[in-house]
Amino acid sequence: MVNVKLDGVEVEVEPGTTVLEAAKKAGIEIPHLCTLKDLYNGASCRLCLVKTTRGKLVPACAYQVYRDEEFTVNSLELKRIRKVNFELLLSFHKIECWKCERKGDCLLASLSQELGVEGIPVCSQCPLPPEECLLTKGILCLGMITSSGCDAECITSGGQCWGCRGPITRRDVLERAFKRYEELGFNIDDVLFRAEIFWNSVPAFEKLKKVAAEVRGGKK
Amino acid sequence: MKSFYIEFGIEEVPAVAGRLDIYVKGDEVSVKVRFGVLQDPRFFEKFVKKRDPIEVPYMMSRICGVCSVVHLTCSTMAIEKAMGIKPEENSLKIREIAKGMEILQNNLIHVLMSIPDFTGTKNALEFSKKYPNIFSKIMELNTRTLDVYRRIGGRFIHTPSIGAAFHGKPIYRYELEGISRELSNLSEELHSLAYELAEIWKPLAPGFKDPVPSYCVLQADDGYPFFSEKLLFSDGQVVPAEKYYETIEELKIEYSNAHYTLYKGKPFYTGSRARLQAYSHLLTDRTREVIKLLKIDYDNPFENVKAQYAEAVQVTEVLAQVAAELAAKVKHSIKPFYLERRKDCTGEGIAFATAPRGTLIHHYRIRNGKMDYANVITPTVMNARHVEVNGEALIRWLASSGQPDEEEVKPIIAALLRAYDPCLPCAVH
């Protein structure tokens, strides 16, 4: 047996155990995305990076422990690194949560919340399946252009999203969202007028308006 | 009367939210009390103009975080009237239950915040140390009230499931039955707690009488009213919705950011004390018993806090019955609905609602599908002038039996204001 020290918490594990498994045993959570036990262990998402005492970053899911060792598992520096890695991963993801079957139970959404990554809309946490989306019933909901992180509480309670969490800033998501509004027969001016209630003094709202104007045909 | 002279200001009253300025000046010849609300005006009535009427209830609910449900529901009713929409009857009952739950929760919390005045303790913290059982019991009842609310409306503050032409949360029959049972239990527990409260609750300024005992409540057409089309004044005058503006005079006051209201040129009050008097024929046996236990003297404005407690008992009983009747009527569940609306409607809607602090009025006009006019009169605005008149009478009453000084008058004026349960952010909506 070897002793592993994770952020000061000691845990005894079999030699050859990964840091991620040791952390699980110690009750410490390390964010990870790509690890599938016995199926895939390629350490490709790089979200589970931890720091050794020598300052080296290693993936917790693949790094096996054969002697007593110490790791930093959660620190501001690691969070920043994980955030950058996650943003890079997310940049390849076509965010259209309103159409996605995983909405309401999405690992990407919960990780983005944990790491403080912006650009994921409220739809990612909305419990309504895509076919029951309020927008398809003609009810104006701002979920598509509002930052997630509220567990879609208004929609869960039976209402619609009013945008109180603030606008998302990712341009491609906004473009797709406004196109979707138009597809469903909503006037983008009405959407922006509704959004003004909470976002009138939010700087990101100006950027959002520009994107909306471009989607509409560059009139405004 | 002995000669005396007092002049002081009060800028903070514990347990009253918002910025205020009470100015007191008096001697044996004349006494003046000014209740100024210094909270910045918030222009809700102005910024809803030109907006989609559907949005208005959600915006109006933001007038107050404490009593958001009553603003939401009252605004919803007024907007629906203006748009010519008739919501389903079941959803109206749900709104009644939601609003009643808010009255219950607000009353309980205000009793807890004000009871130190009547028990010789400085504040709620000291009260919690001296009477830990009573404190924790009221807190427990409050938590259970909020739990019941969650089953009805979801989130308590700025409830998203209630809106104009819309009801968003499915409510199942078994939930309604559970709510009815829980409310009956709450009523029983409030009743038994009243025995303990009666032992420690001492009257403040016993013998002092309200010099202007006129009040305004909702007209009760069918049971204890939560919404109504008419107002009822203590002189028996019934005012229909469209005549309220001619009856209630709204005044701008130079030292306050809130308006004051008068009825026939005189101040009037509103709130639990007014309601228990006006609806004495509608009170349940248990409420009557609590009123007797607490020895509520309706002539004394401080007794409003006791009246709030008694009203909490009344509300739990009424709501338990409403929930039971609704459960008997509903087959499986109350389903969410969105009613069709004309996008270019024109109309006017006025709604009166029983708010925790008194009578609330929302008045809207819609032109071509956009908001054209809004007027809200809150209970604190109605009570404001009454507080001043009672404050002046109270100082004179104190002077009749001694020589009042600042140290004596300051806390009692603060307690008087607290007893009215004012909400200053509401007043400057």
pLDDT digits (tens, 9 = 90+) for B249-278: 998 889 999 989 999 999 999 999 999 999
A76: containing domain: 2-84
Q: What is the mean pLDDT of chain B?
A: 92
Residues of B with CB below 8 A from A185's CB?
A: none
- Provide the pLDDT for residue A32: 87
Q: Kindly report the CATH number assigned to the domain that includes residue A31.
A: 3.10.20.740
Are residues A80 and A108 both part of a single domain?
Answer: no
Which of A61, A84, A107 delimits the end of a domain?
A: A84
Beta carbons of B160 and A137 less than 8 Å apart: no
- Provide the pLDDT for residue B403: 82
- Spatial contact of B324 and B286, defined as CB atoms under 8 Å apart: no
Count of domains observed in chain A: 2
Are residues A108 and A45 both part of a single domain?
Answer: no
Which of A53, A84, A115 delimits the end of a domain?
A: A84
Are residues A198 and A111 both part of a single domain?
Answer: yes
Are residues A77 and A124 both part of a single domain?
Answer: no
- Provide the pLDDT for residue B405: 86
Beta carbons of A158 and B170 less than 8 Å apart: yes
Are residues A120 and A162 both part of a single domain?
Answer: yes
In this structure, is residue A176 part of a structural domain? yes
Are residues A154 and A68 both part of a single domain?
Answer: no
In this structure, is residue A190 part of a structural domain? yes
User: SS3 of A51, please?
Assistant: strand
Q: Looking up tokens 């607000």, which residue turns up? A: B106
In this structure, is residue A89 part of a structural domain? no
Distance from CA of A164 to the nearest CA of B (A): 12
With an 8 Å Cβ cutoff, is A201 touching chain B?
no
Which spans in chain A are helix H? 19-26, 76-90, 107-115, 153-156, 171-183, 188-199, 203-216
Annotate A97-155 with DSSP letters as a single string.
Answer: GGG-TTTTS-HHHHHHHHHT----BGGGG--S-GGG-GGGGT----GGGBB--STTHHH
What ipTM does the predicted assembly reach?
0.82
Give domain B5-427's CATH number out of 3.90.1640.10, 1.10.1060.10, 1.10.645.10, 1.10.357.10: 1.10.645.10
Which of A59, A84, A109 delimits the end of a domain?
A: A84
Are residues A137 and A67 both part of a single domain?
Answer: no
User: CB-CB: which of A137, A138, A159 is closest to B160?
Assistant: A159
Is pLDDT above 60 for B247? yes
- Provide the pLDDT for residue A220: 44
- Provide the pLDDT for residue B134: 95
Beta carbons of A194 and B55 less than 8 Å apart: yes
Is pLDDT above 90 for B19? no
pLDDT digits (tens, 9 = 90+) for B270-322: 999 999 999 999 999 999 999 999 999 999 999 999 999 999 999 999 999 99
Are residues A44 and A123 both part of a single domain?
Answer: no
- Average pLDDT on B49-58 reads 92
Higher pLDDT pick, B67 / B222? B67
- Provide the pLDDT for residue B291: 96
Are residues A134 and A65 both part of a single domain?
Answer: no
Residue numbers of chain A with a pLDDT score lower than 70: 36-41, 218-220
User: SS3 of B20, please?
Assistant: strand
With an 8 Å Cβ cutoff, is B59 touching chain A?
yes
Are residues A189 and A107 both part of a single domain?
Answer: yes
Is pLDDT above 50 for B166? yes
CA nearest to B98, candidates B32, B27, B179, B213: B179
- Spatial contact of B61 and B353, defined as CB atoms under 8 Å apart: no
Which long-range contacts link B408-416 to residues 24+ away (Cβ below 8 Å)?
Answer: B409/B6, B409/B8, B409/B24, B410/B8, B410/B10, B412/B204, B412/B205, B413/B10, B413/B22, B413/B24, B413/B33, B414/B10, B414/B13, B414/B14, B414/B22, B415/B114, B415/B117, B415/B204, B415/B302, B416/B301, B416/B302, B416/B387, B416/B390, B416/B391
- Provide the pLDDT for residue A114: 86
In this structure, is residue A199 part of a structural domain? yes
Sign of the torsion formed by the C-alpha atoms of B310, B311, B314 and B316 = negative
- Provide the pLDDT for residue A38: 66
pLDDT digits (tens, 9 = 90+) for B72-117: 999 999 999 999 998 888 989 999 999 999 999 999 999 999 999 9
- Provide the pLDDT for residue A39: 64
Are residues A102 and A206 both part of a single domain?
Answer: yes
d(CA B105, CA B96): 14
Show the tokens assigned to B387.
């507080």
With an 8 Å Cβ cutoff, is B167 touching chain A?
yes
- Provide the pLDDT for residue A218: 57
Distance from CA of A158 to the nearest CA of B (A): 4
d(CA B260, CA B253): 7
With an 8 Å Cβ cutoff, is B58 touching chain A?
yes
Are residues A70 and A100 both part of a single domain?
Answer: no
